[in-house]
Amino acid sequence: MALIVQKYGGTSVADPDRIHAVADNIAITKRRGNEVVVVVSAMGKATDNLIALANSVSSKQPGREMDMLLTTGERQTAALLTMALADRGVEAISLTGSQVGIITDTEHRKAKIIEVKGDRVRAALAEGKVCVVAGFQGVSTAKEITTMGRGASDLTASALAQAMDAESCEIYTDVTGVFTADPRIVPQARKLQKIHFDEMLEMAGAGSKVLALRSVEFARNHDVPLHVRSAFTWEPGTWVTNEEASMEDPIISGVVTDMTEAKVTVFGVPDRPGISAAMFEPLADANVNVDMIVQNTSTEGTTDISFTMPMADMAHAEEIVSRVAGEINATGVSHDNDIAKVSLVGAGMKSSPGIAAKMFRVLADESVNIHMISTSTIRVSVVCAAGDMERAARSLHTAFGLDSGADYSAPLPTRK
Ligand code: ADP
Ligand code: ASP
Ligand code: MG
């Protein structure tokens, strides 16, 4: 008997019809003789709606209260799906992250997992039940309810798969696997049969939302293979594993697009030691994930510093940046939400010089103006205007030989 973890994302459980379809798949998996642990996300846009609701009643939004609020989305799906399973004669129990014993640190909204106890999951499985776990959440060492960051139901799934020693961890979503680019943006994107953890990590880190970054980190560190697949067509998807690339694998495995970041520029910063530390230490202390940083060469003793960060952290970061800008006598601060990041990712880059140069040439030919550049050993990222993102991604996809030859054909459900 195999133990299978199945995670269903928001679109996959967005309405009663979807919940019925998912319940059918779980019932089939169980009747085939498997033990099943299910992890669910909030229905459709439920989390976004709860955040909008919080925005409409408060500008403070204490982390503890946000987590009390946001965890209800996943809890709702877990209870509803368990009821649908009851109708199918499948014995099941819904459990919150806290009931499962997902113990986290005390950082509300971005909590990190310390331990997964899983006693109640083991007990329920021993009674022959399916466990339906509310994703994205845990309980802190201070006994408070926490959430683990946007998209973190993926993390709940990989952590439970590891803790339960599952045979496989299936991530069901609204596309048929991991593609060479987001098929919603690059219709010519090609489905990958497999991808190495390292490349998936860079893709997730560059902003591809198909898998949450920390779920890939966790899966890689604990060697939990992930199978990303569709809850709409149910066909086999993409395996994310530690299998080494074969000789024929292309140099570039994907083009990643990300519109979730904003750019901040601090003008007229005095050019002296300690200024960057003065700016970025308070942001780090406030848990703001600063991504790219560019500092111009100074003219007449002052310089400009630009950096990107998640738009979601902006309100929080704005106060800090203005305060520090005042303290260091900078002449001004500007914000730009209208930007996008486009990245090329591929393990083969390590041994193939010239990838960045070719990327810049392709973008130049498309008249895409590059605002910022950053690189790692297997990734090159640029920031451009949001309006240029689609053109940039499609032209890079074609230029690096990734086009599949046919537009993506599986249903692409709209996100409610
Ligand atoms: P879920 O709610 O199931 O967690 P997400 O919306 O978080 O789903 O992630 C799935 C979405 O990720 C897809 O609908 C697709 O638009 C997007 N995506 C971005 N990059 C890729 C990629 N390389 N391959 C497949 N999907 C991608
Ligand atoms: N519902 C949460 C979110 O929208 C977690 C998840 O879906 O994984 O971010
Ligand atoms: Mg997701």
How confident is the model over 345-363, as pLDDT tens digits? 998 888 888 999 999 999 9
What spacing in Å lies between the alpha carbon of 31 and ligand 3's midpoint?
27
- Quick check: 74 pLDDT over 80? yes
Residue bearing the bigger pLDDT, 29 or 246: 29
Tell me the best of 210, 397, 402 to mutate to test the pocket of ligand 1, counting ligand atoms within 8 Å of each CB and taking the most. Answer: 210
What pLDDT was estimated at residue 230? 98
Residue 416 pLDDT level (bands cut at 50, 70, 90): low
Residue bearing the bigger pLDDT, 69 or 312: 69
Max mean pLDDT range (59-63, 233-237, 371-375):
233-237
The arithmetic mean of pLDDT across residues 8-14, rounded, is 98
What spacing in Å lies between the alpha carbon of 142 and ligand 2's midpoint?
23
What pLDDT was estimated at residue 188? 98
% of residues, the chain, pLDDT over 70 = 99
Residue 244 pLDDT level (bands cut at 50, 70, 90): confident
Domains of the chain: 3-173 (3.40.1160.10)
**C-alpha 277, offset from chain centre:** 28
The arithmetic mean of pLDDT across residues 24-48, rounded, is 98
Tell me the best of 8, 41, 172, 228 to mutate to test the pocket of ligand 2, counting ligand atoms within 8 Å of each CB and taking the most. Answer: 41
What spacing in Å lies between the alpha carbon of 301 and ligand 1's midpoint?
46
**Residue of the CA atom closest to atom 8 of ligand 2:** 151
pLDDT in tens, 283-336: 999 989 999 999 888 888 899 999 999 998 888 888 999 999 999 999 999 999
What spacing in Å lies between the alpha carbon of 323 and ligand 2's midpoint?
32
Residues with CB under 6 A from ligand 2: 9-10, 41-42, 47, 73, 135-136, 150-154
- Quick check: 136 pLDDT over 80? yes
Query: Ligand 3 (ion): which residues have CB within 5 A?
Result: 9, 151
Average pLDDT, the chain: 95
Do the Cβ atoms of 379 and 343 come closer than 8 Å? yes
What pLDDT was estimated at residue 236? 98
> Mind spelling out the 3-state secondary structure of 73-90?
HHHHHHHHHHHHHHHCCC
pLDDT in tens, 203-212: 999 999 999 9
Residue 323 phi, psi (nearest 5): -60, -50
Determine the Cα–Cα distance for residues 18 and 231; give it in Å rounded to an integer: 9
- Quick check: 58 pLDDT over 90? yes
- Quick check: 249 pLDDT over 80? no
What pLDDT was estimated at residue 350? 86
The arithmetic mean of pLDDT across residues 398-412, rounded, is 95
Ligand nearest to the CA of 151: 2
Tell me the best of 51, 136, 171 to mutate to test the pocket of ligand 2, counting ligand atoms within 8 Å of each CB and taking the most. Answer: 136
Determine the Cα–Cα distance for residues 308 and 160; give it in Å rounded to an integer: 33
What spacing in Å lies between the alpha carbon of 58 and ligand 1's midpoint?
30
135 Cβ closer than 6 Å to some ligand 1 atom: no
Determine the Cα–Cα distance for residues 356 and 409; give it in Å rounded to an integer: 31
**Mean pLDDT lowest for which of 158-167, 239-248, 369-378?**
239-248
Ligand nearest to the CA of 208: 1
DSSP 362: H
What spacing in Å lies between the alpha carbon of 47 and ligand 2's midpoint?
6
What pLDDT was estimated at residue 351? 85
What pLDDT was estimated at residue 246? 66
Please report, as a single letter, which amino acid is at residue 151: G
Strands 102-104 and 302-310: unpaired
Token pair 């990958």 in the structure block, residue: 192
